[in-house]
């Protein structure tokens, strides 16, 4: 789960990370009030969306008067920002964050990520801040510092000091850097985060170390024990298809193709999408119904996939171990009887109670295309999608 910049800053500040004074606004008038409350002569108005690259997309504005703050906020509200992370559809701005501007002397990159290869928390830092870490790795690879945290020990102060020394900070700033790094690690560990990123972490003209931007991502599977973090979720920033699936306990990722996939198991889902591509089609989604799928759960998956207007055919690929093919077949029949579809449905069943599942499909009398292997199922799904598309165009 991602959260907004202002939420990440509120969290990190509680762990001792210095952040600029700022305030959230839901209207242009409120933005001007926030600027007045902060004081000073210059402010930054930032669009709050779940994406990096907001500045390049026109989502970060420097203002030198309260009136300008109000005008820039008015321009941002309701605007759809398109960045390299949002895709062409962009994300709509519903709130802005107003901060007092700071005089910057130097920019640094600091990030903590869950490195799945080493199964450790890794600190990634660079003296070249203000760019995406991918750009830093390409332009200045020698500037990147990597430091793995030993989980049995946690992060000791000396490890944070080594990182600070590697960044070439002045001695007067070393303790501030140590406090910042340790604060980020404590937030990461205590709140089940999978990423904490401060970019840029700036050195100001008056020699303070401040987090000018912040991002945090959390492990969805741990949110049940962190209700105060779960409450920070902003569904307006998520793909509505994925939100709908998440609320129903389904693993779903929306894609841009035309063939909807209903599969059990993440590995099988990936293989199914690959086979659709190999057969000349494009998958419309990744959907894993999981183990022990009941007929009701399968029916929910059908409703979710068909809610995507781009879907023109459906491929159901089940290899039942924990699952049962007869349950899946009952769910398919239940879904198609309740809501008849004007698109081809291809079903491939294998594994536990497969014969019972095939009999249920055959007895239903529904126009279901059956397949014996994954390759056959993918080929038939792509062929059915093409034939159906041609028929509709001709009619």
Q: What are residue 110's phi and psi, to 5 degrees?
A: -140, 125
Could you give the CA distance from residue 156 to residue 7 in angstroms, rounded to a whole number?
A: 26
Alpha carbon 353 to chain centroid, angstroms: 37
- Long-range contacts from 26-32, C-beta under 8 angstroms, 24+ separation: 26/94, 26/95, 27/73, 27/77, 28/70, 28/71, 28/73, 28/74, 28/77, 29/70, 31/69, 31/70, 31/73, 31/96, 31/98, 32/66, 32/67, 32/69, 32/70, 32/73
Q: What does the DSSP 8-state code read for residue 336?
A: H
In the DSSP assignment, the letter for residue 293 is -
Catalytic site residue from 72, 197, 242, 330? 197
Taking the mean position of all CA atoms in its chain, how far away is CA 284?
18
Is 299 in contact with 339 (CB distance < 8 Å)? Answer: no
CB 302 within 8 Å of CB 296: no
Q: Bridge-partner residues for 286, per DSSP?
A: 253
Catalytic, out of 109, 185, 252, 330: 109
What are the structure tokens assigned to 273, written together? 């999408």
The residues with which 283 forms a beta bridge, in sequence order, are 259
CA dist., res. 214 & res. 1, Å (int): 15
Residue 106: strand pairing partners? 203
For residue 26, indicate whether it is catalytic. Answer: no
For the chain, the first-to-last Cα distance in angstroms comes to 45
Find, among 207, 210, 218, 3, the residue nearest to 112 by Cα: 218
How far apart CA 146 and CA 149 sit, in angstroms, is 10
Q: In what order do the strands lie in the sheet with 60-63?
A: 22-25, 96-100, 43-47, 60-63
CA-based radius of gyration for the chain: 26
252 is an active site residue: no
Q: Which residues are catalytic?
A: 109, 197
């Amino acid at each position: 789960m991602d959260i907004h910049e202002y939420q990440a800053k509120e969290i990190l500040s509680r762990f001792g990370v210095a952040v600029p004074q700022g305030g959230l606004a839901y209207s242009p008038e409120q933005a001007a009030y926030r600027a007045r409350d902060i004081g000073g002569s210059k402010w930054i108005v930032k669009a709050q969306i779940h994406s990096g690259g907001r500045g390049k997309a026109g989502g970060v504005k420097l203002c030198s008067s309260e009136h300008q703050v109000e005008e820039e906020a008015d321009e941002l509200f309701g605007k759809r920002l398109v960045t390299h992370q949002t895709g062409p559809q962009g994300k709509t701005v519903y709130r802005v964050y107003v901060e007092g501007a700071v005089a910057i002397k130097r920019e640094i990159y600091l990030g903590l990520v869950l490195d799945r290869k080493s199964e450790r928390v890794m600190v990634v830092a660079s003296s070249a801040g203000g760019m995406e870490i991918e750009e830093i790795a390409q332009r200045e690879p020698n500037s990147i510092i990597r430091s793995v945290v030993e989980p049995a020990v946690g992060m000791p102060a000396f490890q944070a000091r080594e990182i600070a020394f590697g960044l070439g900070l002045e001695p007067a700033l070393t303790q501030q850097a140590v406090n910042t790094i340790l604060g980020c690690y404590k937030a990461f560990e205590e709140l089940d985060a999978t990423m904490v990123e401060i970019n840029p972490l700036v050195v100001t003209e008056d020699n303070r170390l401040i987090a000018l931007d912040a991002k945090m991502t959390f492990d969805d599977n741990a949110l049940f024990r962190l209700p105060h973090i779960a409450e920070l979720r902003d569904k307006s920033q998520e793909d509505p298809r994925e939100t709908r699936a998440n609320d129903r306990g389904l693993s779903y990722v929306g894609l841009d193709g035309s063939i909807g996939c209903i599969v059990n198991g993440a590995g099988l889902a990936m293989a199914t999408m690959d086979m659709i591509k190999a057969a000349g089609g494009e998958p419309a989604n990744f959907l894993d119904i999981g183990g022990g799928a009941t007929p009701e759960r399968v029916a929910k998956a059908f409703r979710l996939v068909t809610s995507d207007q781009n879907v023109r055919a459906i491929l159901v690929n089940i290899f039942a171990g924990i699952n049962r093919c007869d349950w899946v077949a009952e769910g398919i029949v239940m879904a198609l009887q309740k809501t008849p579809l004007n698109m081809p449905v291809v079903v491939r069943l294998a594994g536990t109670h497969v014969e019972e599942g095939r009999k249920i499909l055959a007895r239903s009398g529904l126009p279901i295309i059956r397949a014996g292997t994954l390759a056959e199922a993918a080929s038939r799904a792509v062929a059915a999608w093409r034939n159906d598309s041609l028929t509709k165009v001709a009619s």
